[in-house]
Amino acid sequence: MSKIKEFTINISQDKLDDLSLRLQHTRWPEKETPNDWSQGTPLSYMKEVCDYWLNEYDWKKEESALNEFPQFITEINGLDIHFIHLKSPHPDAKPLIITHGWPGSITEFLKVIRPLADPTIDGGDPKDAFHVITPSLPGFGFSGKPKEPGFGVEKIASTFSELMQSLGYEKYFAQGGDWGSAVTTALGMQDVNCQAIHLNMAVVTPDPETFDDLTEFEQAAIQSFQFYQDSDSGYSKQQSTRPQTLGYGLTDSPIGQAAWIIEKFYQWTDCDGHPENVISRDELLTNIMMYWLTETAASSAKLYWESFGEFNGGEVTTPTGVSIYPKEIFRASERWLKKRYTNLKYYNVLQEGGHFAAFEKPEIYINEIRTFFRNV
């Protein structure tokens, strides 16, 4: 592992000018045939986004806000790893590594990093403080792009474990959703120094032994996952089989990249019919820019090619907490979870929120993390 270096985001004006030209010269498809999102992101909305992106969105303002967080980069396993590292002012704070997924980024956590590091800023207890580390997954954002096969979930977990050791955290805690859930689970399985894990998307196979007496919650969970398999998983089939092919289009077209991501924010958030009901247009675009400016459409998709089958496998004995949000892709019951996460210490079904928990409902997300880790 190389030396840890300070990192500042500084996108060149040439890149921003190139983006503007591409937006101005977008080739639009015809309108969707139904007046809804069932065929994907609607044309009228994408034209609104394009106009706003071109004429009102201020990347330099967003870049400056990102740079208010202490960022670093280091080489581990031959790859640059970019991360935010905010140390708590409270000496007994717990080290906590938080991992994002696809189509997210470190921008998901900007509203929760400071309160987690210093609970007193919102009237909380300093005993709930964390030293917060939020890395960009390999192939995402400002982390490096793997040049050879093999950088899947297990190798990412070992890389992040080494990152925590290099920061001086002999013992630590981990949290994640989406791919971050898989990486966090792998940390709990692989690294004895990982003391406990919290997940906001825990994927397990429904237990066949429960099929004769399914609860209403479990019936709804199976129906929801069936909808995902039938009508919402096309992106994962493409990214897990031909990510390189997909990358040519998304890396070349900012509107293509944006539409590919925004549709998931519509489908997976608790948004009452429109993603901007829970996440602002600026926030959506800043997350998209983490893919566009870094040209990581293909490299991020390749994580599916590497590891899509690794979400569900192997017993996890590390103390585990799980928060279930109502608009999550898969919502496991407590008894299903205990078949795999055999040391499940905390399970809570929430009344609002979705897949992008920290982005959508930061206060709820913070409270879930504090509540679980307070007692482990």
The residues carrying an active-site annotation are: 178, 304, 355
Cis amide leading into 103 (omega within 30): yes
DSSP string of 271-287, one letter each residue: -TT-GGGTS-HHHHHHH
The encoded tokens of residue 131 equal: 């030293």
CA-based end-to-end distance of the chain: 31
Residues 90-116 as b/e (b if ≥16 CB within 10 A, e otherwise) read beebbbbbbbbbbbbbbbbbbbbbbbb
The encoded tokens of residue 50 equal: 């394009």
Q: How many CB atoms lie within 10 A of CB 136?
A: 25
DSSP string of 53-76, one letter each residue: HHHT--HHHHHHHHTTS-EEEEEE
Burial class (CB in 10 A: 0-12, 13-18, 19+), 376: middle
